Structure 1
């Protein structure tokens, strides 16, 4: 990206009486200005109580984030009229999901998975935490799932389901078919969101669990834009 070396600025100093006074002003820009884009500055991004409620309701109903963001845009007749971006909407929903999964619940889940691994060292699990050490995603697969994949892992089906747990978090099972035509579980994940980074983490974790042996084909009906 070419540098514009724009010197436009406004400087202010705090005077002895506690007031700010302008010390210098340069209004000339070396580029075309776009006042309409000022809404993307952090200080202008606002999700008020009314705006927040709509994404919450859609998330509770299982609406994917790619479509969730469209609802408030329709109400204000265009994305350009929204005071926030899709990333802000995603971050807010992720925050809501983290609050739903309380510290006690996360600790109980961790303890349960550790106990399962102590019973069988082939039980596999990974817990992904955020910067505040809050639980984001979980993946696990028991010994039988890992053994079954060695024989029936040529083709798997993958999809996420909604509203199947009290946290309303997407549940992501990896499923195959055995020689009796019965569905078998090869592992599953509990996710806090459905963005690209999350699915990259999930599939990399699953492959690590299966000794990096990828299937020949994956069947899915995911319709989100990734």
Structure 2
């Protein structure tokens, strides 16, 4: 005899099949990051076995669950040593299956191709987390400091860069500037004027006059 039959029906069990399905669905949607922890680390260890210069760093919480993880390979290290003067520090907002920010460290080579210096999945977009991530990134790159860092207008990113990379010039990404301008400047004439001001090669005096 089942527990349902012993209790006298589903209504008096207290935890029905629907509750069970709801619980399983909730777990599938809210905890894939933690459940994939061992798989992710096994994959990272496999990459490290093939690449002696591969680096992976991560943090855990008090319950030994994965919180933040950063990785880069040996090829990325060489690229950064050659082309790391300008660093794009970009975060996408929870668009992956784990519902967590994905951070990419990106540069440009001598062919103007985008190259990846490193990547990370982080728990949140706070100054503390970004500070840990930037320090981890620099440590993995033998503390080579970029000359300029491009980001969006995220305040936590800006503060973390000031703390970890005080010598680097922080600039806003032109793509985000253009997107904000398109949102707030309703005049096509003003948008064209802004584009000429920002994108054309010119002296400081020419920029000031156009601005």
Q: 2:132: which partner in 1?
A: 201
Q: Which structure has the highest helix share of the two?
A: 2
Distance (Å, rounded) in 2 between the aligned partners of 1:190 and 1:101: 13
Aligned CA-pair RMSD: 1.9
Q: 2:43 aligns with which of 85, 90, 112?
A: 112
Give the secondary structure class of the aligned counterpart of 1:219.
strand
Distance (Å, rounded) in 2 between the aligned partners of 1:223 and 1:162: 12
Distance (Å, rounded) in 2 between the aligned partners of 1:198 and 1:158: 14
Query: Where does the alignment leave 5 or more consecutive residues of structure 2 unmatched?
Result: 1-26, 160-211
The Cα offsets for residues 36-77 of structure 1, whole Å up to 9 and x where unpaired, read as: xxxxxxxxxxxxxxxxxxxxxxxxxxxxxxxxxxxxxxxxxx
The Cα offsets for residues 17-42 of structure 1, whole Å up to 9 and x where unpaired, read as: xxxxxxxxxxxxxxxxxxxxxxxxxx
Distance (Å, rounded) in 2 between the aligned partners of 1:103 and 1:183: 31
Residues 177-188 of structure 1: pairs in structure 2 closer than 5 A: 177-188=108-119
Does 2:65 correspond to 1:134?
A: yes
Give the secondary structure class of the aligned counterpart of 1:159.
strand
Shift of 1:138: 0.4
Aligned 8 A contact 1:159 1:222 in 2: no
Give the secondary structure class of the aligned counterpart of 1:160.
strand
Distance (Å, rounded) in 1 between the aligned partners of 2:91 and 2:33: 22
The Cα offsets for residues 159-208 of structure 1, whole Å up to 9 and x where unpaired, read as: 21024310110000000000000000000110011112101110000000
Distance (Å, rounded) in 2 between the aligned partners of 1:113 and 1:99: 23
Q: 1:165: which partner in 2?
A: 96
Aligned 8 A contact 2:87 2:146 in 1: yes
Aligned 8 A contact 2:106 2:116 in 1: yes
Aligned 8 A contact 1:124 1:209 in 2: yes
Aligned length: 130
Does 2:157 correspond to 1:214?
A: no
Q: TM-score, normalised by structure 1?
A: 0.54
Distance (Å, rounded) in 1 between the aligned partners of 2:108 and 2:137: 17
Taking a change above 3 Å as real, the CA distance of residues 102 and 207 of structure 1, as seen in their structure-2 partners, is closer
Distance (Å, rounded) in 2 between the aligned partners of 1:121 and 1:157: 26
Shift of 1:111: 0.6
Q: TM-score, normalised by structure 2?
A: 0.58
Distance (Å, rounded) in 2 between the aligned partners of 1:199 and 1:143: 23
Distance (Å, rounded) in 1 between the aligned partners of 2:76 and 2:141: 9
Does 2:80 correspond to 1:149?
A: yes
